[in-house]
Structure 1
Amino acid sequence: METIHRVFVGDSRDLSAVADDSVELVVTSPPYPMIEMWDDLFADLDPAVGDALESGDGRVAFEAMHAQLDRVWDELERVLVDGGIACINVGDATRSIDDSFRVYPNHARVLEAFESRGFDPLPDVLWRKPTNSAAKFMGSGTLPPNAYVTLEHEYVLVFRNGNESRSFEPRADRRYEAAYFWEERNRWFTDLWTDVRGELQTLEFEGSEELRERSAAYPFEIPYRLICMYSTYGDTVLDPFWGTGTTTLAAMCAGRGSVGYELEEAFLEAFDRQIDDVPAISQSIGRARLEAHRSFVEEYRAEGSTLEYDAEYYDTSVVTKMERSIRLREVDSIETVADGYRVEHEPLSDGDE
């Protein structure tokens, strides 16, 4: 199986290299309005942002920043197929401007923007992000009433393009082979993820830590889960805020194609230096999923439960009929091509063979 991964250096407010109705899934984490590390970026896009911040008008700055993101959402409406899913990872911002502390609800503003463009909101996910601060509490210490609760979660907002789900031909291999295990479904399709604590797998290279800080990259596990949850083999995943390429790496490991847009070419150059590591990463992820399932089966049987079905491609039992055709993919080889990469995938072999 072959997948193509294109990455463009450019402004995602104009996704002209991406054709209409050519993407089945969007997974991205945009720069968060009213987080100070992104002030200069938004001010470069619209000088009114800098003027509003300078004058102490946080509300105007907040709306001006989101107006720039709105132009990206316009493009997503164009390139995403009917019934396609958009997953937007976003966090709210807390900030003091002119000595007035408040929260800026980015998730609510993004929700409003997508719904106004005809997207149907679906149940979202909250995940707890790790904190490095020993003094997490904000405000007046232990004295009421002027302290504030901590803000340590982010949202994965989920939208469907239009009011109808995608349809598939009966027993489509690309859908059934991309199924997830029953216990993965039970963990992934909850509205609170407490087990995403860091980067499950990532590319490491000289200067990578500094680049990740500049991109505010999300943990690999987030795009990998979302890609497995909301796409099938043969689909293309778009990330208009590519950063360090975490979404593309996840798509490669999940056996999907991808498209990315990124303003800074340095991120692409860094990713390119480490593509030789991707086959080993993809294999380790597939093996970990398979071994985790086998451990689940042992525990399930130890509790006295019976599994009625056997997997077709692996020496293990499964809970449901729909899991029988699961066939994980691993990256066999990567070739650099114009605007990206061509990846060859092989079915993940059974570790017991």
Structure 2
Amino acid sequence: METTHRVVVGDARSLASIDDESVELVITSPPYPMIEMWDELFAELDPAIETALEAGDGDEAFSLMHDQLARVWDEVSRVLVDGGIACVNVGDATRSIGDRFRVYQNHARVATDFESRGFDPLPDVLWRKPTNSAAKFMGSGMLAPNAYVTLEHEHVLIFRKAGGSRSFEPGANRRYEAAYFWEERNRWFSDLWSDVTGELQQLGADGARDRSAAFPFEIPYRLCCMYSVYGDTVLDPFWGTGTTSLAAMCAGRSSIGVELDEGLVSVFDERVGEVQSMATDVGRRRLARHRDFVASRRDEGASLSYESSHYDFPVTTSQERDLRLYSVESVERERLPSGRRYRLDHTPLAAE
């Protein structure tokens, strides 16, 4: 199996290099409006945003920031296949503008923007992010009524482009090989993810990106497995440090990433150097967890009804029998005038 991964240096508000209806899945985490670290970026996209912030008009700044994101959602709608899925990880923002403190509900505005483009909202996920702070309250501490609930979660919003569920040929091998284990489904399709930790990302001595609790690998990897099959293409229009591409590589999907900062694209070559060992490790951990699940069920006196076609263990349902994981055998790099392209050969991951 071969996958192709393209990284484009450019503005996601115009995805002219991507054909209509050529992407099956979108996974992204955009800059969060009304988070101060992104003020400068949004102001560069629309100077009226800086004017609104300086005037103390938080509502106007919030609206204008989302207007810029909405131009990307227009492109997402164009390039997604009918029935394709878009997953958007976004957090809300708390901020004082002038003499007003409030929460800016980014997730609600993103949901409204997708619905207005004909997407059907699906049940979403709350990602509860661990915090190490012992003094995490905001406001007046122990004195009512002016303390505030601390935001310790982000949203993974999930939308389906109009057109109904995707259809496949009966018995399509790539779909059955891309199945997930029964116990994985029970964990992944919960509406609360509290077992996913953030990541510290420090790239380059020039401080190209230095922020904690960034988009962790586990989120796009799960979403790739949940909402796509082998052979699909995954797009991240806010590519950042390339985590979605890494997840797609390890999951045996092709990918396209779009990123404004050429420096981040250059640094990504270092991360690709780890993808062979990373894909093998991810696959072996999934197999090991399933073996632990089988052992636990047997200890409880239960039996699993079906035998895996490719591995030396039973599975719970008939849909899991042809499940097969892949490792990365080789990586071929190609420098493009406006980015990078990677071709990966995948080979079935053998049982240990």
Question: Post-superposition shift, 1:211?
Answer: 4.1
Contact 2:89 2:156 in 1 (8 A): yes
Q: Does residue 247 of the first structure (1) align with residue 244 of the second (2)?
A: yes
User: What residue number does 2:349 align with?
Assistant: 348
Question: Post-superposition shift, 1:213?
Answer: 2.7
Q: Secondary structure at the match of 2:344?
A: strand
User: What residue number does 2:305 align with?
Assistant: 308
TM-score (norm 1): 0.96
Q: Which whole-Å deviations, capped at 9, do the CAs of 1:110-145 have from their partners, x for residues lacking one?
A: 000000000000000001113343321001111111
Instruction: In structure 2, list runs of 5 or more residues that go unmatched.
Output: none
- CA gap of 1:216–1:16, structure 2 versus 1, over 3 A, is farther
User: What residue number does 1:295 align with?
Assistant: 292
Q: Secondary structure at the match of 1:131?
A: coil
Q: CA separation in 2, counterparts of 1:90 and 1:217?
A: 11
Q: CA separation in 1, counterparts of 2:108 and 2:274?
A: 38
Residue in structure 1 matching 2:328, options 328, 331, 334: 331
My pick for the range that moved more, 76-85 or 302-311, is: 302-311
User: What residue number does 1:100 align with?
Assistant: 100
Q: CA separation in 1, counterparts of 2:22 and 2:201?
A: 28
My pick for the range that moved more, 270-279 or 128-137, is: 128-137
Question: Post-superposition shift, 1:215?
Answer: 9.4
Q: CA separation in 1, counterparts of 2:253 and 2:158?
A: 19
1:1-353 counterparts in 2 under 5 A? 1-199=1-199, 207=205, 210-213=207-210, 217-337=214-334, 338=336, 339-351=340-352
Q: Secondary structure at the match of 1:274?
A: helix
- CA gap of 1:203–1:44, structure 2 versus 1, over 3 A, is closer
Give, as a single letter, the amino acid of the residue that structure 2 aligns with 1:291: A
Q: Secondary structure at the match of 1:171?
A: coil
Q: Which whole-Å deviations, capped at 9, do the CAs of 1:298-337 have from their partners, x for residues lacking one?
A: 0011111111111000101100000000000111111112
- CA gap of 1:211–1:134, structure 2 versus 1, over 3 A, is farther
Higher strand share: 2
Give, as a single letter, the amino acid of the residue that structure 1 aligns with 2:217: F
- CA gap of 1:30–1:316, structure 2 versus 1, over 3 A, is same
Give, as a single letter, the amino acid of the residue that structure 1 aligns with 2:351: D
Contact 1:211 1:244 in 2 (8 A): no
Q: Which whole-Å deviations, capped at 9, do the CAs of 1:156-207 have from their partners, x for residues lacking one?
A: 00000004000000010000000000000000001001101134xx998754
Q: Percent identity?
A: 67
TM-score (norm 2): 0.96
Question: Post-superposition shift, 1:84?
Answer: 0.2
Contact 1:217 1:243 in 2 (8 A): no
Contact 1:119 1:163 in 2 (8 A): no
Give, as a single letter, the amino acid of the residue that structure 2 aligns with 1:97: I
Contact 2:27 2:236 in 1 (8 A): yes
Q: Secondary structure at the match of 1:3?
A: strand
Contact 1:12 1:72 in 2 (8 A): yes
Q: Secondary structure at the match of 1:197?
A: coil
Q: Secondary structure at the match of 1:251?
A: helix
Give, as a single letter, the amino acid of the residue that structure 2 aligns with 1:306: S
Q: Secondary structure at the match of 2:273?
A: helix
Give, as a single letter, the amino acid of the residue that structure 1 aligns with 2:28: T
Q: CA separation in 2, counterparts of 1:271 and 1:165?
A: 34
Q: Secondary structure at the match of 1:88?
A: strand
Instruction: In structure 1, list runs of 5 or more residues that go unmatched.
Output: none
Contact 2:198 2:212 in 1 (8 A): no
Contact 1:25 1:236 in 2 (8 A): yes
Q: CA separation in 2, counterparts of 1:22 and 1:255?
A: 17
Cα RMSD after superposing both structures: 1.6
Contact 1:217 1:246 in 2 (8 A): no
Q: CA separation in 2, counterparts of 1:234 and 1:347?
A: 14
My pick for the range that moved more, 268-277 or 116-125, is: 268-277
Q: Which whole-Å deviations, capped at 9, do the CAs of 1:77-116 have from their partners, x for residues lacking one?
A: 1000000000000000000011211000000000000000
- CA gap of 1:204–1:304, structure 2 versus 1, over 3 A, is farther
Q: Secondary structure at the match of 2:138?
A: coil
